[in-house]
Amino acid sequence: MATVSIIISIILVGLAFTAYVLYNTYGVPVQKTEHEKKILNAGVLAPARVISILPGGGKTSGQNVESRYKLEVRPEGKAAFTVDVTTFILIRKLGDFVPGAEITVRYDPQNPSDVVIVQ
């Protein structure tokens, strides 16, 4: 009976350690604001290109860092437009947002400057 308890304890410690490593490796994205959630749910999906990384940002939240970008949004059948976006990005994904990178965004068609990066 004691052997079973030891085996279960070892398994639980192993699972806890695995969860800890995964959390610290991959992190958890910052929760979106209600406004961002609204755009992500109802906004128009469009491809975009990172034009530049802007100064500012730098706040951190867990495994996320606040970053600022100038994007060229290219909606299908409409003229492209540029917009500045401030958002939290998982540190491990920062390399996906270098100038020239192709990303996906959602924007408010009533206010195209209101853009949220889809991650």
Instruction: Tell me the per-residue pLDDT of 32-86, one tens digit each, with 9 for 90 and over.
Output: 788 899 999 999 999 999 999 998 777 888 888 899 999 999 999 999 999 999 9
The pTM is what? 0.72
Number of structural domains (the chain) is 1
Q: How far apart are CA 54 and CA 46, in angstroms?
A: 21
CA separation for the pair 93, 83 (Å, rounded): 21
Helix (H) or strand (E) holding 50: strand 44-53
Q: Range of 92's domain?
A: 2-117
